[in-house]
Amino acid sequence: MVLIYFLIFISDVLYFGCYYNIVNFFIYLRGFSRNLFC
């Protein structure tokens, strides 16, 4: 589970940024990590 979150986090930062809808959904569920980059 942690690995999945890590991969989503890295892919969001490197490829999609903060506005990719599907990735943002998972980041929202995950919590505060999104705030570090947005």
Q: Is the pLDDT of residue 1 over 60?
A: yes
Q: Minimal CA–CA distance to 33: which of 14, 15, 8?
A: 8
Domain presence at residue 18 = yes
Q: Is residue 29 part of a domain?
A: yes
Q: Domains in the chain: how many in total?
A: 1
Predicted TM-score of the model (pTM): 0.33
Residue 12 lies in a domain: yes
Query: Is residue 28 in a domain?
Result: yes
What pLDDT digit, counting tens, does each position of 17-28 carry? 555 666 667 777
Is the separation of the CB atoms in 18 and 34 below 8 Å?
A: yes
**Structural domain contains residue 38:** no
Residue 11 included in any domain: yes
Per-residue pLDDT, 33: 55
Helical segments of the chain, H only: 2-11, 21-30
Q: Residue 6 is part of which domain span? A: 2-33
